[in-house]
Chains A and B, each alone.
Chain A
Amino acid sequence: MIQEEKEPIISLRGIVKSYGSAEATTYALRGVDLDIKQGEFVAIMGPSGSGKSTVMNIIGGLDTFNSGEYNFGGVDIGSLSLDQKTLLRRNYIGFIFQGFNLLGKTTAIENVELPLLYRGFSAHDRSEMAMNALRSVGLEKVSHHTPGQLSGGQQQRVAIARAIVTDPFILLADEPTGNLDTVKGKEIMELLSSFNKEKGLTIVMVTHEDEMAAYASRIIRFRDGKIDNSVHTKIVQ
């Protein structure tokens, strides 16, 4: 896929997110401006509590924000209802959670099929597509195991398969390697990197490991709920 200079697919302007009442307000985000273009592989880094997960959840439409503007592919997200945001996720976004958030007692393939089910694919198409996704993360052999029967790395890969099975425009991954050792982590990164290179999948990933961030084409650093511009963000390739 030829990379062109385009309008950013994601555009955040002055996003503020706070918790608590007037007296005891804690700010998770204190005015975040962020643009992400199609085909980019962006790594978000920063200390714990700096607002990385919060910004990912807002980008994914899973969470609301107090002020600012969020534009996704020309749509003003702040004005959408819960169901409209759901449709946006259903059709355009794959999300990999910091915890895996798989359905318990539900087999790997059933977990991966779930987004397809809500998209209205037939049972036959669902199992074929889910199997392909599982194959691409190397889990075809354990497709009928439940999360309890899978290792952490395998569960993470089920979560990845579930996020990419719908062939989304953008993949949001919150610490996808956080629970894995370096070897397993790098395997996952190779996988994500290949999706980015081969399919042109736009990826936004949170990580606190430099080794993992090195796979990204751009690194953004968060500090105290803001993007830290004092640190030069190296652009890989």
Chain B
Amino acid sequence: MIQNAFFLALREIRRSAMRSMLTTLGIVIGIASVIAMVMLGDATTAYITQSISKLGTNMLMVIPGQERKGVPSSSLMAKKFTHNDIEAIKKEVANIRGAAPVGSTMIRAVYGNQNYSTTIEGTDNDYFIVKDWVFASGRNFSEIELRSGKAVCVIGESVKKELYKDQDPIGTSLRLENFSCEVIGLLESKGAAMFGMDQDDVIIAPIRMFQRRISGNQDISRIMLSASSAEVIESAKASTIALLQERRRIGLTQEDDFFVHDMREMVQTLSSTTKMLTILLGAVAAISLLVGGIGIMNIMLVSVTERTREIGIRLAIGALEREVLLQFLIEAVVLSSLGGIIGIALGIGVGVGTTIYFDLPLIFNTSIIFIAFLFSTCVGIIFGYFPAQKAARLNPIDALRHE
């Protein structure tokens, strides 16, 4: 009986090539889109998380003002930091690898006939330690350069590409607004662009040069710290806060006029944001899964008239209800799983292709693959099987007369 039903089912699938194809197509599209979308979403999440960890997850960022709902609100009014604050942190906070003052602004850099707008950050050598940043060529700042605020600078890979192309930048003189500075170092590429924020798109100069020639004041708008390991971030953060409260004379009942960002928190916030992205993409994909399902449903329902007559003929010449149903069930299962397998292959193909194209990490979410497969297969089976079940319970003559 099962053998016969298989034989009949496969023959019917071959015979109704168009109907079979459309049914399968609905399932293929549904499954493929879900898998591809979720894969892309997961890849983006993983990529962003990775990018952030390249910023340094053990990093603490101290800014003036208080953070409210993710936006530093009063940072412009709050008192900035001083060189003495940095010295104090370096001396008194344990378990840190470095503490760098940072002041930054946008600037236009000119070399030869090339000019390029980028960010300039005034800082000291701890900056490279905190950011785990290695030199591709050249050197970091000397003590004298730092103390005197000499016009020297280290450039990132993107700045080099824009202004120097294949030329070696070391030793050249780069024009910044109204003064020139000597390029003494080139940093290795961090390679991670995040939200259009390219870490390599930067010029780094001694903080004193930045203050004297660019900002025109002694303020330090940020302090970057790096804990020696993930385990001591909390204690480093706590000691930094305690120290700054004391130095800035914050009373017990007063609110801090500075804020310490923990990069891990940022990672968490951002990865939860990107998880939202995955959910969103998943929802879009779920809609196409649904549309695919409706497509299958439509084809199945449209063919019900034709198939009800077929069922009537089969019943009239001696097919039992269960024999007819087994045939229809096998048809539905074969088409649905065929569509499912093609859909999975296509979905993974498209997902992997896009992921590789955008240079994102590959993540396989097997449960989504499974759910998409299960859903489409169920739709195929339900809409292939239940109308048939209804028809097979009719008097043969009523099935034959079905309009």
A is bound by B:
yes
Give the B interface residue count (CB, 8 A): 26
Bound Cα distance A62, B312 (Å):
9
User: Which residues of chain B come closer than 8 Å to A120, judged between CB atoms?
Assistant: 4
Across the interface, A118 reaches (CB within 8 A) one of B11, B16, B319, B398, namely: B319
Bound Cα distance A120, B310 (Å):
20
User: Which residues of chain A come closer than 8 Å to B396, judged between CB atoms?
Assistant: 62-63, 86
Identify which of residues 73-87 in chain A touch chain B, using a CB-to-CB cut-off of 8 Å.
82-83, 86-87
- Say yes or no: A117-B397 contact (C-beta < 8 A), given A89-B316, A105-B16: no
User: Which residues of chain B come closer than 8 Å to A102, judged between CB atoms?
Assistant: 313
Smallest CB-CB A-B distances: 9 pairs: A90-B318, A62-B397, A63-B397, A62-B396, A118-B318, A115-B317, A57-B397, A118-B319, A105-B15
- Say yes or no: A83-B397 contact (C-beta < 8 A), given A101-B316, A105-B16, A106-B15: no
Q: Closest CB of chain A to B5's CB: distance in Å?
A: 10
1/0 contact string of A92-130 vs chain B (CB within 8 Å): 000101000111011000100011011110000000000
Question: Is the CB of B314 closer than 8 A to any CB of chain A?
Answer: yes
Q: Quick one: closest B residue to A85, CB to CB?
A: B396
User: Which residues of chain A come closer than 8 Å to B312, judged between CB atoms?
Assistant: 101
Bound Cα distance A89, B315 (Å):
9
Q: Quick one: closest B residue to A91, CB to CB?
A: B318
Q: Quick one: closest B residue to A123, CB to CB?
A: B7
Q: Quick one: closest B residue to A119, CB to CB?
A: B318
Contact between chains at B314 and A63 (CB < 8 Å): no
Contact between chains at B400 and A101 (CB < 8 Å): yes
Contact count A vs B, C-beta below 8 Å = 68
Question: Is the CB of A136 closer than 8 A to any CB of chain B?
Answer: no
Q: Closest CB of chain A to B293's CB: distance in Å?
A: 27
Chain B residues close to A by CB (< 8 Å): 4, 7-8, 11, 15-16, 309-310, 312-323, 393, 395-398, 400
User: Which residues of chain B come closer than 8 Å to A101, judged between CB atoms?
Assistant: 309, 312-313, 316, 400
For this complex, 15 residue pairs linking A to B, each with C-beta atoms less than 8 Å apart, are A62-B316, A62-B395, A62-B400, A63-B396, A63-B397, A82-B393, A86-B318, A86-B396, A87-B320, A102-B313, A114-B314, A114-B317, A117-B8, A118-B317, A119-B318
Q: Quick one: closest A residue to B315, CB to CB?
A: A86
Contact between chains at B316 and A95 (CB < 8 Å): yes
Contact between chains at B395 and A63 (CB < 8 Å): yes
Bound Cα distance A61, B312 (Å):
13
Contact between chains at A117 and B316 (CB < 8 Å): no
Contact between chains at B318 and A89 (CB < 8 Å): yes
Identify which of residues 114-171 in chain A touch chain B, using a CB-to-CB cut-off of 8 Å.
114-115, 117-120, 162, 166
Bound Cα distance A106, B170 (Å):
81
Contact between chains at B320 and A86 (CB < 8 Å): yes
Contact between chains at A118 and B323 (CB < 8 Å): yes
Chain A residues close to B by CB (< 8 Å): 57, 60, 62-64, 82-83, 86-87, 89-91, 95, 97, 101-103, 105-106, 110, 114-115, 117-120, 162, 166
Bound Cα distance A120, B319 (Å):
11
Bound Cα distance A64, B398 (Å):
10
User: Which residues of chain A come closer than 8 Å to B309, judged between CB atoms?
Assistant: 101
User: Which residues of chain A come closer than 8 Å to B313, judged between CB atoms?
Assistant: 101-103
Q: Closest CB of chain B to A141's CB: distance in Å?
A: 22
User: Which residues of chain B come closer than 8 Å to A90, judged between CB atoms?
Assistant: 317-319
User: Which residues of chain B come closer than 8 Å to A83, judged between CB atoms?
Assistant: 320-322
User: Which residues of chain B come closer than 8 Å to A117, judged between CB atoms?
Assistant: 4, 7-8
Bound Cα distance A60, B397 (Å):
10
User: Which residues of chain B come closer than 8 Å to A60, judged between CB atoms?
Assistant: 316
User: Which residues of chain A come closer than 8 Å to B317, judged between CB atoms?
Assistant: 89-90, 95, 114-115, 118, 162
- 11 additional A-B residue pairs with CB within 8 Å, beyond A63-B396, A117-B8: A62-B400, A63-B397, A64-B395, A82-B393, A90-B317, A101-B309, A103-B313, A105-B15, A106-B15, A114-B317, A118-B4
Bound Cα distance A64, B309 (Å):
18
Q: Quick one: closest B residue to A54, CB to CB?
A: B397
Bound Cα distance A55, B393 (Å):
21
User: Which residues of chain A come closer than 8 Å to B310, judged between CB atoms?
Assistant: 103
For A62, A63, A64, A89, the residue with the greatest tally of chain B CB atoms inside 10 Å of its CB is: A62
Q: Quick one: closest A residue to B318, CB to CB?
A: A90
Bound Cα distance A102, B316 (Å):
11
Across the interface, B321 reaches (CB within 8 A) one of A82, A105, A106, A110, namely: A82
